[in-house]
Amino acid sequence: MHQRSIRRSEVFRRGSIPIAAKDVPALSGIPEHTHDYLEIAVVSHGEGTHVTGDGRHPIRRGSVILIRPGTAHSYQEPRELSTFNLYLAPELLHRELAWVVEHPPLARALLGGQPNAGVLDRESCDRVINWLEQIEQFAGTSHRAALVGLTSCVLDAFTQIAEKTESSADSTIAHSVITMMSLMMKDLSYAWSIADLTRAANASASVVHRAFTAHVGTSPMSWLSRARAERFATELVLTGDPIASIGRLVGWDDPNYASRRFRAEFGMTPTEYRRRFTH
């Protein structure tokens, strides 16, 4: 099967808010691919198997799939399978959609990269697909508020399945987590430390760790490593820059260390990733 990386320019219209949706038939499956944006897929028809580096997961109507940038995935063994996909620039989760951090189970899925979020009931699935159809209609237009509002409705519906096994946690520093994440994303090459984050959040190191673990599902430094790997993956397929230069761009100055960290996140070396997914 042909493998590729799908780019933002293929999905979002220049000058518009980076939100889009599309009904995607997968009657013959979808080959392994990556993208440099966040993809949220809702199975609208049929059944199949969703495959990532974490394994194979059966999916059916109502299944919700969350794919972070750089993550390779495919759909296999389709049986009349179709998905309705929501496409988002991940930075929106730090701005217009930052409210998701108030719902830790949802935030852990969206920000922490847990790919299989659960299954919507029939009524909720119908409602979400209706909203996705409206997003598809408005995408690329000047209806910014409508797109953000409809996307918020979709994500809010996901809180119902994300929180079936856990109630929302009310943390006074929930939005400090977003602040810390945004700060690190602005300069991935900087040698960030917990001390830097405690100053930004005006909180102790233990509070910062607890907040990240509760709302993102991982430690601050583990999240930073993932963010660096995602940016690394994007640069590998969008540019022809030397791998060592990309490593320095994301704060991994030692090429051997960069290769080990990248492999730990994506299961292959940067060279293998570039060869596999570059057009």
Q: How far apart are CA 92 and CA 38, in angstroms?
A: 10
pLDDT at 67: 93
pLDDT at 101: 85
pLDDT at 168: 44
DSSP class per residue in 47-113: EEEEEETTEEEEEETTEEEEE-TT--EEEEEEEEEEEEEEEE-GGGGGTTTGGGGGSHHHHHHHHHT
Q: What is the dihedral of CA 92, 22, 121, 106, to 10 degrees?
A: -20
pLDDT at 279: 63
Q: How far is CA 179 from CA 110, 174, 190, 198, 249, in A?
A: 16, 9, 16, 11, 21
pLDDT at 189: 96
DSSP category for residue 164? S
Tell me how crowded residue 228 is: count the other CB atoms within 10 A of its CB: 24
**For residue 17, which phi and psi values (nearest 5 degrees)?**
-65, 135
Tokens (6 digits) for 110? 């969206």
pLDDT in tens, the chain (279 residues): 456 888 998 999 988 999 999 999 999 999 999 999 999 999 999 999 999 988 899 999 999 999 999 999 999 999 999 999 999 999 999 999 999 888 888 888 888 766 667 899 999 999 999 999 999 999 989 999 999 999 999 999 988 776 554 444 445 567 788 889 999 999 999 999 999 999 988 889 998 998 888 888 899 999 999 999 999 999 999 999 999 999 999 999 999 999 999 999 999 999 999 999 986
Domains of the chain, CATH where assigned:
4-162 (2.60.120.280), 174-277 (1.10.10.60)
User: Locate tokens 């509002």: which residue?
Assistant: 149
